[in-house]
Amino acid sequence: MRKIGIIFVLIFFSLPVRAQQIVLPSPEGPYVVGTRSFEIDDSNRPKKNAWWGVRKFMAQAYYPSSSTSLQNTPYMPETLEAGKIEDITVYGHAELNTPIATKGSYPIIIMQPGLGGVRQAHTILCEELASHGYVVFTLDHPYVASFVRFKNGDITTPHLWTMWRVNNNRDYRYEWFEKAVETSCQDINMLLEQLPQLNKSTFQNQLNLSEIGLMGHSFGGNVSLLEGFKNPAIKAIIDVDSKLTERINLPENTNNKPVLFIRSNEYQDDVGDRLRHISNACIINFNVQHSAFEDIAYLAPTVPNQGNQSLLAKAWHFLVHKGPFMDHVGTGLGHYRKKDWFKLYTKTVKEFWDKHLLHAK
């Protein structure tokens, strides 16, 4: 009987234990990273219209901090409750509301998440860039992001009826997509207009307002191309795996701005060789899936697989405002280990910005 008890104990302790916390990779640059959020209200646009409701949105800044010691800090501050996804606590490294390091001037990068993504969905990348002396702004576009929590606690999620039509009506989907891109571009312009004031009031004049890059993933890549090619304030662009079809046009790079296309092994049939006709463009392909560029690809092996939930469970998630919906679909990393992959991806992005915003040789 004693032997049976010993065997039971050994088997019990040899079973895999579900992790109760996850720590994202530590940024490797010389700076500790700070972060703070801003609620931006565009008084020049109508307050209400049929699709978008009140025209206000959230922005998050990641920046070199005056702090000197690296800390583990709750993931997605002011979006998640204490960094929790279900019963797992996730930690990043950006300190909330810490002062900026006064060693500027720091180039600016505006980062656009994918459709349904939230402004902190690329924390690993944003923290890494900020640790090397960039100030990265990310945006939550209401009704495009899956979840937006405002300063007063109000929460905005997509309308379920609209999302059903987007998923089931092709013509409506493209009409909705065009409006979403247009509205997101307007939000970027509003942020750009406010940067000089934010530079004075919050960032102690440490921002380099003449060196601004724009990048985005998926839907955010479409936004970045459209706004980046036409806006004279934008000096260089990164498009991370945007979807291009006969109904989603590829704008012309008439001002010959540097552009980097980072591509996964998905969507290639839709794109064909069209990217090669863009002037001053570089294309890098990785054998990973479409969502490998988001934090969720790092979290997916450990956090609950919400991507496999039923339609009813997904609807309930929106109705009770539990937080951003984190879909695990398309997070495959091919032959890469997750830490190696994110090191390679962030290095690829940083080298492009170093060349075109820091003008490093």
Question: Tens of pLDDT along the chain (361 residues)?
Answer: 554 444 433 433 444 444 589 999 999 999 999 999 999 987 776 655 445 555 789 999 999 999 989 999 999 999 998 998 878 899 999 999 999 999 879 999 999 999 888 999 999 999 999 999 999 999 998 888 888 888 888 888 877 777 778 778 888 888 888 889 999 999 999 999 999 999 999 999 999 999 999 999 999 999 999 999 999 999 999 999 998 766 677 788 999 999 999 999 987 666 667 888 899 999 999 999 999 999 999 998 887 655 555 555 555 555 665 677 777 788 999 999 999 999 999 999 999 999 999 977 5
207 strand-pairing partners: 106
Contact 110, 195 (CB under 8 A): no
Residue 22 φ/ψ, nearest 5 degrees: -130, 135
d(CA 188, CA 138): 10
66-103 pLDDT per residue, tens: 998 999 999 999 999 899 887 889 999 999 999 999 98
What is the three-state SS of 246-295? CCECCCCCCCCCCEEEEECCCCHHHHCCHHHHCCCEEEEECCCCHHHHCC
Looking only at the bridges linking them, the beta strands covering 73-74 and 88-92 are antiparallel
Helix (H) or strand (E) holding 165: helix 160-168
How far is Cα 139 from Cα 165, in angstroms, rounded to an integer?
A: 25
* Cβ-count burial 131-159 (b if 16+ within 10 Å, e if not): bbbbbbbbbbbbbbbbbbbbeeeeebbbe
CA atoms within 13 A on the CB side of 286: 24
Cα–Cα distance for residue pair 186/30, rounded to 1 Å = 34
Give dist(CA 58, CA 1) in Å, integer.
62
Q: Which amino acid is at 55?
A: R
Rg (CA), the chain: 21
Report the pLDDT value the prediction gives residue 17, as an integer from 0 to 100. Answer: 43
* pLDDT at residue 26, as a whole number: 97
pTM listed for this prediction = 0.89
Supply φ then ψ for residue 338, to 5 degrees. Answer: -65, -40
> Which residue from 223, 214, 348 is spatially nearest to 286, judged by alpha carbons?
348
Give per-residue pLDDT as tens, 197-255: 999 999 999 999 999 999 999 999 999 999 999 999 999 999 999 987 666 777 889 99
Q: Which long-range contacts (CB under 8 A, 24 or more apart) does 331-335 make?
A: 331/289, 331/291, 331/292, 331/294, 331/296, 331/297, 331/300, 332/288, 332/289, 332/292, 333/288, 333/289, 333/292, 333/297, 334/265, 334/286, 334/287, 334/288, 334/289, 335/287
CA 36 to each of CA 60, 151, 278: distance values in angstroms, whole numbers, following the listed order: 6, 12, 36
Residue-wise DSSP of 176-188: HHHHHHHHHHHHH
Sign of the four-CA dihedral 314, 218, 176, 272 = negative
Distance CA 224, CA 253 (A): 12
